Amino acid sequence: MLDMTTKDIKERSGITINPCKTCEPVGAMFCALGVHKCMPHSHGSQGCSSYHRTVLTRHFKEPAIATSSSFTEGASVFGGRSNLNTAVKNIFDMYDPDIIAVHTTCLSETIGDDVGSYILDMEIPEGKYVIHASTPSYEGSHIQGFSNMMMGFINYLSKQTGTKTGITALFPGWVNPGDCRELKAIAKAMEVPVTMFPDFDNTMDSPMTGHFEYYGAGGTPIPEIGRLGDASSVIALGKFASGESFDLMQKKFHISGASLPMPVGIALTDRYIMALRKISKKEVPSGLEAERGRLVDLLMDATSYTYKKTVAIFGDPDIVYSLTSLCLEMGMIPRYVVTGTPKSEFETLTRELIDSYNLEETCEVKADTDLFWLHQKIKNDEVDLLLGSSYGKYIAKAEDIPFVRAGFPVLDRYGATIQSVCGYKGGVYLAEKIIDALLSRYDRDVADEDFECVL
Ligand code: SF4
């Protein structure tokens, strides 16, 4: 398994080996699936669309619906306007969505298709919408595609009338459906009415009813996106997935609020709850305080098994930052913290977070890199735990390291997307998985005379 990976690390450019990201349209497609009765549309060849759908379907274990402009040689040479016009007509006729969210691909970007002007000229049925986002995949990552599509929805649909709705716009970032439910539950407990956008609750984890429906019951309703310009405040979670939309809300509608990291663990969940408290001016309910206390108690109970354990954390920048925060709260050493997304700000922010703990040990933080680099690093200086997407399983097997799956994509396990890693409850869920992995390794390796039932 990955036997050819060498210890010898050489400077590389122009080649990525075992990427730690995927392409922009995957993020655009995912974002669009968080809008009620929305059909994501891939303006490019069928191969791109199939790949993007496959990644999402394999992670969520739910069919990720999407359509394609089905480029062939003709569209590649003469442009995709005619394909898009035909596609939009067919999609409304056959699948009856309320909105089509078009994203571009490498091919349509390279030939210079001006999708915005195509949409201005096309016939759109009364009461229906077509929007678009530019998502060239030769830059950024799926996180940038997600962000671009969020801004596409806001730019096309959100209006300002001047009459405030009293609603807080809650941008969850790149999260699972279980996280959406938990984030909304915390906002409700804090008595803050929110519009979550996008909202994957009941779209990417629809219950089995025995009836086939193209569109799940969930997703942000279009009228609610339309009213975002009149929101009273905005809370954006995940700097890299939601930060640009937060800036757009400030610039376009002058709506202020808070741009925060994903609320994973104690400190980051505290920040989310304090931002809600600032809006509602209500005390934190005893139920939330009890949840917090249970998480603190769990981390203290297990500290002798987590303290100074080294961990390599990899994946998307928002979740990796927040997982790093949780690991630090558990007394662990984030030896390597890695994302494939090319954002140098990730390095600055994560470095600041780690430095705030005054660790004596060396921690390396790197953006815009791949899992081959991480594997080489681990070969030189092993860690006690791997924490990240399913792609880490090859390193885990090769180096015989305990592995906890978290983030995107998790392709080889079931049920994680229904759970939340956000909030205090999510912290308990994640911490339990981490402690379990470390103790299972301890039990496996310990000498017979030290093998105990009680730990
Ligand atoms: S061609 Fe571009 S958009 Fe299509 S799958 Fe490949 S990287 Fe993604």
pLDDT tens digits, residue range 266-320?
A: 999 999 999 999 999 999 999 999 999 999 999 999 999 999 999 999 999 999 9
Q: Kindly report the number of other CB atoms within 10 A of residue 448's CB atom.
A: 5
In this structure, the answer to whether residues 271 and 295 fall within a common structural domain is no
Ligand 1 centre distance from Cα of residue 57 (Å) = 17
DSSP string for residues in 12-62: --S--SSBS---HHHHHHHHHTTBTTEEEEEES-HHHHHHHHHHHHHHHTS
Provide the pLDDT confidence category of residue 4 given band limits of 50, 70 and 90: confident
Dist CA 248 CA 255 (whole Å): 9
Q: Which two tokens stand for residue 107?
A: 């091919």
In this structure, the answer to whether residues 147 and 218 fall within a common structural domain is no
Dist CA 20 CA 29 (whole Å): 19
Lowest mean pLDDT among 1-10, 25-34, 360-369, 421-430: 1-10
Question: What φ, ψ does residue 227 adopt, rounded to 5°?
Answer: -90, 0
Q: Which residue owns the Cα nearest ligand 1 atom 4?
A: 48
Q: Which two tokens stand for residue 343?
A: 């954002």
Task: State which of 52, 106, 111, 113 you would mutate to test the pocket of ligand 1, scoring each by most atoms of that ligand within 8 A of its C-beta.
Answer: 106
pLDDT exceeds 90 at position 213: no
In this structure, the answer to whether residues 126 and 263 fall within a common structural domain is no
In this structure, the answer to whether residues 360 and 387 fall within a common structural domain is yes
Condensed to tens digits (0 to 9), the pLDDT of residues 103-146 reads 999 999 999 999 999 999 999 999 999 999 999 999 999 999 99
In this structure, the answer to whether residues 90 and 116 fall within a common structural domain is yes
Dist CA 301 CA 298 (whole Å): 5
> In DSSP terms, which residues pair with 405 in a beta bridge?
388
Q: Which residue owns the Cα nearest ligand 1 atom 5?
A: 48
pLDDT exceeds 90 at position 44: yes
Query: Which domain covers residue 220, as residue numbers?
Result: 168-285
CB neighbour burial string for 404-436, b if at least 16 within 10 angstroms, e if fewer: bbbbbbbbeeeebbebbbbbbbbbbbbbebbbe
> In DSSP terms, which residues pair with 249 in a beta bridge?
none
Count of the separate structural domains present in the chain: 3
Q: Which two tokens stand for residue 119?
A: 């949409």
pLDDT exceeds 80 at position 187: yes
The enclosing H or E element of 301 equals helix 286-301
104 SS3 class:
strand
pLDDT exceeds 80 at position 164: yes
DSSP state of 210: S
Task: State which of 41, 42, 51 you would mutate to test the pocket of ligand 1, scoring each by most atoms of that ligand within 8 A of its C-beta.
Answer: 51
Are 268 and 421 in contact, with CB atoms under 8 Å apart? no
Ligand 1 centre distance from Cα of residue 76 (Å) = 14
Provide the pLDDT confidence category of residue 212 given band limits of 50, 70 and 90: confident
Provide the pLDDT confidence category of residue 397 given band limits of 50, 70 and 90: very high
In this structure, the answer to whether residues 100 and 78 fall within a common structural domain is yes
Ligand 1 centre distance from Cα of residue 90 (Å) = 24
In this structure, the answer to whether residues 313 and 438 fall within a common structural domain is yes
Condensed to tens digits (0 to 9), the pLDDT of residues 70-97 reads 999 999 999 999 999 999 999 999 999 9
Q: Which amino acid is at 365?
A: V
Q: Which of 94, 122, 157 is the last residue of a domain?
A: 157
What is the average pLDDT score of the chain? 97
In this structure, the answer to whether residues 116 and 206 fall within a common structural domain is no
pLDDT exceeds 70 at position 1: no
pLDDT at res. 448: 96
Ligand 1 centre distance from Cα of residue 105 (Å) = 6
pLDDT at res. 392: 97
Q: Which of 230, 252, 285 is the last residue of a domain?
A: 285
Q: Which two tokens stand for residue 369?
A: 């890199």
Three-state secondary structure along 160-190? CCCCCCCCEEEECCCCCHHHHHHHHHHHHHC
Are 234 and 168 in contact, with CB atoms under 8 Å apart? yes
